[in-house]
Structure 1
Amino acid sequence: MTSLKLVDVTMRDGNQSLWGATGLDTAHMLQAAALTEACGFRAVDFTSSSHMAVAVRYFQNDPWERIRRMHAAMPGTPLQFITTGLRFIAWQQADPEFMRLVYRALQANGIGRFVLLDPMHEVPAVIEAAKLVKEEGSAETMCALTFTLSEVHTDKFYADFARAVAQSPDIDLFYIKDPSGLLSVDRVRTLAPAVKAAIGNRPLEIHAHTTIGQGMFSSLEAAKLGISAIHVGVGPGGDGSSLPEAGRMLANLEEAGHSVDLDPSALARLSTYWSRVAAAEGLPPGRPQNFDASFLRHQIAGGVMTTTARQLEELGLADRLGAVIEETEQVRAELGYPIMVTPFPQMVMSQALFNVIGTHRYAQVSDQVIRYCLGKFGKPTSPIDPAILAAIMDRPRARELENEPDFPALGDLKRQFGANMPDEEFLLRAVMPGEQVDAMLAARPSRTGYSPQAAPILSLLRQLAARPQARDIVVERAGFRLALHAGASA
């Protein structure tokens, strides 16, 4: 049995999978920093460009400040940034020199590890991103093998991709990323050895969601096969559609005879903190999930399924959900089996919805699907059905989008925003609405102090501030009653 490490995903993937990426702000994270550092994680899956946008848009938190302060508070644990190659916040592929500046700024502020994920598994895209990262700093680079089930995504497909990427000296390690929780124990037994044989002595990690109850089992099986680290969520940030819960994973690994390089007492303290935050902020904790075999067919993420069901109910078409799910499988096959990771689940299921409720299939097609067919998200892994491609492209909107301008060159953007603008502000303004960046700058510095115990009273004070007309307030709890009236108290 080998000595294993754990990677904590609570602040990024747990937050995203369970709480829509909007559950935690900078203060919540900073309060957890020392507790997290004490655990001894291999790394912390900390942020992405999408999470940086959420920090600005929903919290008016400066995402660069968040990275800097977290790195200063936990310098011994690498902060991980996940990126889909040459993209930053916007899904449009960016100028490589723009991305060079992104990678430079991220590393200057404290990012110590990059996950390089290309949904189409294009080798040149991953290698180019890794080269830019290494030229701008010393962070680790980890290549993602994003798992899905299709006729195309065989063990050989992943091994060939990993072997080709491993030719780059700029790639430090790999991980099997299973964002939909589709990876079974049987498949791990063939996939992990095939990938390990392809990558030589580079480490291989596993990131398996528990959406349909398989993530714990597939991760434990991978531990037997020489995996170097397992990704987990802590306390309420684990299980459900997140990753296996860290405390249970640690206990199961030790029961199986593995040595795990982690401080269990520190992990217990961190789990208690996140449990208190979840209770104070009304964040539903992840729960162990039952196996759902239908998910292996449609591969629809829980959030996308919920949104579509609500849309059908609002249209008075709730009885058509089964037809939409069935259509989703066909649309995905026709579009060349895109991996069901954002934005592709939303794209595929929306098209299935249009096909079911429209006058005929592909009568209505979203701009995102057209851009996908134009190759603006990269080359599809498997060819798009020729008849479907022709139907999508034979419309005026397709010709308009084909001629839409590319992402501006770095020099043009610098001239637009001013050569003297600080890089951090410039990078946000180049891809986000200006008014959102203005609001963030006006709100700086971000709130840093946080106590779960104080959250209820702070919530009450915020509600009172929003209702200045309230004149009579009563606060009651067991053995205590406080009545406040205009001009008097009792």
Structure 2
Amino acid sequence: MTASEKIPRGTGPVRITDTTFRDGHQSTLATRFRTEDMLPIAEKMDAAGFHSLEVWGGATFDVATRFLNEDPWERLIELKKRIKNTPLQMLLRGQNLVGYRNYADDLVEAFILEAAEAGIDIFRVFDALNDERNFEASFKAIRKAGKEIQATLSYSLTENRLGGEVFDLKYYIDKATIFRDMGASSICIKDMAGLMNPYDAYDLVGALKAEVGLPVQLHCHYTSGMASMTYLKAVEAGV
């Protein structure tokens, strides 16, 4: 049992990860939420029954330090004090951590251990190219910290629909299988450009669940206006 599985969470048939405190304002407000904007509502968010709350990582770290004159570590610690029942998760850029270049393995380990100590239960790890080599050091450190590894499939296309010479079902199943064998306990399909067609979501989620055997989550953006229907078909497939 992973650390986050010991924490009570929603028991409904569909588990929802809320990203308001991370991607919600990163994608709509240039990541300009301040800690003081989050703390008053944190306990109510905790009581809502979410599967997890994504509160850290991505651009929140560098924006806090460069533009908001805030300590991102203090934000995480203060949120953890108030959110006691719902697992907290972060978006980790693999070997890039929360920056824009590759970092040394010892720094990757030190950062992840500190993040786990400060309150992160689930590490959603992604690499834009789905290159498993950029997951190795972070997965090892997350296991050392006793936390949950959620491996991310960065979704992309070369055709109008899922398929073609590169991004077909086999590509995503093969990558997810590699991530599972490296120690991931769940898979997140990250549709960061809003490209996923609803029926492709149905096929991909179903195939991953059948072939890989791990829980599957889906994170969509609304760039194309399809996300609502994409989520619906993904739920039908068992996301």
What is the TM-score when the length of structure 1 is the normalising length?
0.44
Shift of the 89–128 alpha-carbon distance from structure 1 to 2, 3 Å rule, reads closer
Which has more radius of gyration?
A: 1
Cα distance in 2 for partners of 1:163, 1:87 equals 22
Q: In structure 1, what is the equivalent of residue 218 of structure 2?
A: 206
In structure 1, C-alpha distance between the alignment counterparts of 2:99 and 2:234, rounded to whole Å: 34
For 1:216-365, list aligned pairs within 5 A: 216-227=228-239
For 2:108, the equivalent position in structure 1 comes to 99
What's 1:439 paired with? none
CA distance in 2, matches of 1:90, 1:82: 11
Aligned residue number for residue 180 of structure 1: 193
1:14 is aligned to 2:24: yes
1:144 corresponds, among 122, 133, 152, to 152
* Alignment check: 8 A CA contact 2:203 2:237 kept: no
Residue 49 of structure 1: CA displacement? 5.0
Alignment partner, residue 129 of structure 2: 120
Q: Amino acid of the residue matched to residue 94 of structure 1?
A: Y
Q: Whose relative contact order is higher, 1 or 2, with alpha carbons under 8 Å and at least 6 apart?
A: 1
Extract unaligned runs of 5+ from structure 1: 228-490
SS of corresponding position for 2:24: helix
Q: State how far apart, in whole Å, the 2-side matches of 1:100 and 1:49 are.
A: 17
Residue 37 of structure 1 pairs with residue 46 of structure 2: yes
What is the count of residue pairs matched by the alignment? Answer: 222
Which of residues 150, 171, 185 in structure 2 aligns to 1:157? 171
- The amino acid that maps onto 1:65 is E
**1:167 maps to which residue?**
181
Q: From 55, 59, 84, give the equivalent of 1:50.
A: 59
- Regions of 4+ moved over 4 Å: none
Identical-residue share of aligned pairs (%): 26
- 1:132 equivalenced with 2:160 (yes/no): no
Q: Distance in 2 between matches of 1:89 and 1:167?
A: 25
| Residue 37 (structure 2) pairs with residue 28 (structure 1) | yes
- 1:275-322 CA-to-partner distances (Å, cap 9, x unmatched) read xxxxxxxxxxxxxxxxxxxxxxxxxxxxxxxxxxxxxxxxxxxxxxxx
TM-score, with length taken from structure 2: 0.89
Q: CA RMSD in A?
A: 1.4
Question: What SS class does the counterpart of residue 69 from structure 1 fall into?
Answer: helix
CA distance in 2, matches of 1:189, 1:221: 5
Residue 115 of structure 1 aligns to which amino acid in structure 2? R
Amino acid at match of 2:68: F
Q: Which amino acid in 1 is paired with 2:124?
A: V
